[in-house]
Amino acid sequence: MVYLFIIFVWMYFMGEGVTEGFTWRDLTYIMSPDEYHIWRLVENLGVLGAVYCYGVLEHYHWIFYTLTILSGLSVYEMAYNVTRYKKLLYNKTSKWFFIPHPPGWFWLALFIISTAVLAVII
């Protein structure tokens, strides 16, 4: 059940990253409604599965959930970058509330580290 929870969280973040990437992509590519709704379905199934698994796993330590969310955020950023910029480790030049975005390699490193620590504590 632990592995299912992680997979569902990653599924949610991947679907969210892809739909956001398509939303903000340049106007030369127009996503079909079917394609959009397939990725929204991936998002929703990820959320439903994660919520179900959480109900079974509620006794786990908060570090497990934090690492799962951190790895999921990395999946989101990488899916977004691939969808919008067609590059996995894209370095965003914009700022978020005057704070620059981390470089593209940061998300891959965060994913590897958080997944490795998850593997150790499970």
Could you report the per-residue pLDDT of 53-110, keeping only the tens digit for each? 887 877 778 888 899 999 999 999 999 999 998 999 999 888 888 999 999 999 999 9
CA atoms within 13 A on the CB side of 27: 0
Look up the pTM and report it: 0.88
Q: Which helix (H) or strand (E) holds 96?
A: strand 95-96
Q: Classify 122 as helix, strand or coil.
A: coil
* 18: nearest Cα among 69, 72, 83, 73: 83
Domain that holds residue 61: 2-121
> Which residue in the block uniquely carries the two structure tokens 């599924």?
11
**pLDDT bucket at 31, cuts 50 / 70 / 90:** confident
**Count of domains forming the chain:** 1
pLDDT value of position 11: 96
Average pLDDT over residues 32-60: 88
